[in-house]
Structure 1
Amino acid sequence: MKNEKYIDFLRSYFKVQIKENDFVDTNLSFRIKKLFSFLCVDINNLPFVIAKYNGTNFNVIEFDYVKNLIKESSNNHVVFYFDKLSIQNKMSLTNYGLGYIIGDNQFYIPELFIMINENYNHKPVKPNSKLSVGAQNILFKLLVLDKVDVYQKGLSDILDEKEYEVYRAVKELENKKILIIEKPLGHRVIMLDDKEAIWEKAKPFLKSPIIDEKYVDKNSLFSQNIQLVESGHFALSKKGMIVTNEEVYAIENRQYKDIKDNVKQAFEGHENAVKLQVWKSKIVKTANNEINPFILYLSLKNDYDERVQKDYEEYISKYWR
């Protein structure tokens, strides 16, 4: 097991050190030794036994039994390795609080997540500290759902995000008391408050992803092979009562770097000028490829025009119903 690809995969996230002869399996039956191969490692300085499953019949109760045997005899944490696993079986492991690694591209190790959160708790937290971009983007996606009352592991499929990203984001939102996580089985994510109250709690913690705004020539911009997203007043004008003659588009910084040499600069007010917002992070979109209504707030946040603010509040009010 020592040269398995998944070790390198884990090392892209954690500090992993393989250990020699640290686990004595005398308390395990011959049958269990036949079903599993064992590898002792330290992951982020925590002792683990990685139990690679060599059998064919999935039995979560047996996995839980093996974990407890190893934990009691050696005080090691246990994470199970599988070459592949169905969604149903992943959910079963999660509901039992069992960590797993699948191939060299998926893992769920609850002990490590707990350790990370405990480290956060030892650090002084400023009351006005901002959310990470990942956490606020997950929140924006949650707020457009009809309801949120699902197991955390299922959220990655609903939101089309990586499981690890969802876990970290949800824990951050929980620490800010924006979302509620029901424990212990499955870590169900629920919205006890109505969505409007959650939005109001979240607003002070949001930070703008816009790193630059500039006026460019519309023709040279549209000649590039990219998909632009309407933003700012321009996007809001399509939904409400305000009228604007200024076109505003958002683009992610990584895309802008590819085209910036081919896009001509322009002056504000020029006949063919459009405003281009360069975003540091991913632009969250709806199913219709429009800018997410809650991330749109960040492109309007510093606009103190009462008409704009009122129109925006009316626009998002449909999500409270």
Structure 2
Amino acid sequence: MRKAINYINETLGTNAVEIPIHNRDFGNLPIYISQAYKLYEARIFFKDIVLVELKNEDDLSILQADKHLQLLRNTFNRIVVLVLDNLQSYNRKRLIEKGINFIVPGKQIFLPELLIHLNESFTQPKPKQRNEVLMPSAQFLLLYHIIHRYQNWKLEEHPFKGIAQKLKYTPMAITYAVEELKQRELIEVYGEKEKYIKFNLERSELWYTAQEQKLLSSPVLKTVYVDVLPSNVFMLKANASALPEYTSLNPSKQQYYAIEKNAFYFLQKNNGLVNANDREGQYAIEVWKYNPEALAEDMGNDNAVVDPLSLYLSLKDSLDERIEMGLEQIIEKYIW
């Protein structure tokens, strides 16, 4: 914080001094504020301000920071300024777009409430590249949260370890999935010893945001046709065979089933598929990127079918008008 104060004084010609705001002075602020930030009082041009320093800048989320700064402003009734040592260009742009006061010592002062904007230099490390769509495990978590809104077991009420056990993922896979959702600003992570997640949007808004940003993809890796279903393997109906469960459509002549990719490769390795090919067969087996059974569990369907939103994503590019009508019915039932 001393660097920020020196930068303010040198740049603006002031004599500001920072005074720490101790935890005991936080009043009724949530505990996560004191865990995430250091707060200081200062005075610039006869205006009392609160300087907010993020303890771990790797945790910076613009959406979350905006909410927290508004909370601090309402609590202290003062101008609130975010202080950052480093700031990537895309986050800088978002802070400016949202009108959030911020200071990057030696580089930039943006205080729209004081009509101050000084930009000396701004060279940033290249931001990490990320995939256009969510990784399968991250998509799984997002869809599970939307679909299971009425079930007793909810993602937001359990730590990472509990989520991994319930959804049959490794703890590391859940950690990676959560990190990606956090980077997309779809969730917040909180907690010390045990980490929990909190989705930033209502379920319908979450779905439409993910759709608009093109984050969601078909769960189907490929489709394999066989003449005989593999024995001793439980599979859910998928594709047009699953549509009657959620829509007014009749089942198709071609029978479709879904299987998780690792289970499929096990069958393939152990010669469990009869006359497998990529063109035709009595049964079509969709090989999924994630476990269709875990996502459809506890849905209370009359038949063993895949979940409705993964079904939607697997068919959304279909040109069949009947299927398009069925997909509209799914959205009306599970999103609106």
Matched, 1:154 2:159: yes
The verdict on how the C-alpha distance between 1:217 and 1:155 changes in structure 2, with shifts beyond 3 A counting, is same
Corresponding residue number in structure 2 for 1:286: 296
Contact 1:153 1:163 in 2 (8 A): no
Aligned CA RMSD, in angstroms, stands at 4.3
1:126-145 correspondence to structure 2 within 5 Å = 129-145=132-148
Q: What secondary structure is seen at the aligned counterpart in 2 of 1:294?
A: helix
Corresponding residue number in structure 2 for 1:44: none
The verdict on how the C-alpha distance between 1:255 and 1:167 changes in structure 2, with shifts beyond 3 A counting, is closer
Corresponding residue number in structure 2 for 1:64: none
1:157 is matched by which residue type in structure 2?
Answer: G
The verdict on how the C-alpha distance between 1:145 and 1:95 changes in structure 2, with shifts beyond 3 A counting, is farther
Corresponding residue number in structure 2 for 1:232: 239
TM-score (normalised: structure 2): 0.50
> 1:96 deviation in Å?
9.3
Contact 2:138 2:178 in 1 (8 A): yes
Deviations, residues 87-137 of structure 1 (Å, cap 9, x unaligned): xxxxxxx99969xxxxxxxxxxx98x859xx9x995546687111111111
Contact 1:234 1:247 in 2 (8 A): yes
Percent identity between the two aligned chains:
24
Contact 1:213 1:278 in 2 (8 A): yes
Corresponding residue number in structure 2 for 1:253: 261
> 1:202 deviation in Å?
1.3
The partner residue of 2:177 within 153, 169, 187 is 169
Corresponding residue number in structure 2 for 1:31: none
Off by >4 Å, runs of 4+ in structure 1: 94-98, 120-123, 125-128, 147-153, 161-164, 182-188, 266-270
Corresponding residue number in structure 1 for 2:221: 211
Contact 1:134 1:169 in 2 (8 A): yes
Corresponding residue number in structure 2 for 1:317: 332
Corresponding residue number in structure 2 for 1:37: none
1:301 is matched by which residue type in structure 2?
Answer: K
1:1-321 correspondence to structure 2 within 5 Å = 123-124=126-127, 129-146=132-149, 153-154=158-159, 156-157=161-162, 160-161=166-167, 163-177=171-185, 179-181=186-188, 189-203=197-211, 204-218=214-228, 221-222=229-230, 224-243=231-250, 244-260=252-268, 261-265=271-275, 273-283=282-292, 284-288=294-298, 290-320=305-335
Which stretch shows the higher mean deviation, 184-193 or 239-248? Answer: 184-193
Contact 1:216 1:274 in 2 (8 A): yes
> 1:278 deviation in Å?
1.6
Deviations, residues 271-305 of structure 1 (Å, cap 9, x unaligned): x7011112243334322464222222232132132
Corresponding residue number in structure 2 for 1:70: none
Which stretch shows the higher mean deviation, 232-241 or 139-148? Answer: 139-148
Q: What secondary structure is seen at the aligned counterpart in 1 of 2:296?
A: coil
Deviations, residues 37-88 of structure 1 (Å, cap 9, x unaligned): xxxxxxxxxxxxxxxxxxxxxxxxxxxxxxxxxxxxxxxxxxxxxxxxxxxx
1:312 and 1:157 mapped to 2: Cα distance?
A: 33
2:140 and 2:199 mapped to 1: Cα distance?
A: 17
Q: Provide structure 1 residue ranges, at least 5 long, that are not aligned to the other structure.
A: 1-93, 99-109
Q: What secondary structure is seen at the aligned counterpart in 2 of 1:262?
A: coil
> 1:319 deviation in Å?
3.0
Contact 1:239 1:315 in 2 (8 A): yes
Greater C-alpha Rg: 2
1:310 and 1:318 mapped to 2: Cα distance?
A: 13
TM-score (normalised: structure 1): 0.52
Contact 2:249 2:326 in 1 (8 A): yes
Contact 2:163 2:174 in 1 (8 A): no
Q: Provide structure 2 residue ranges, at least 5 long, that are not aligned to the other structure.
A: 1-31, 37-54, 61-85, 92-124, 299-303
1:214 is matched by which residue type in structure 2?
Answer: V
Deviations, residues 188-216 of structure 1 (Å, cap 9, x unaligned): 64445332221122131123342221221
2:134 is matched by which residue type in structure 1?
Answer: L
> 1:239 deviation in Å?
2.1
1:317 and 1:199 mapped to 2: Cα distance?
A: 12
> 1:182 deviation in Å?
6.8
2:243 and 2:209 mapped to 1: Cα distance?
A: 23
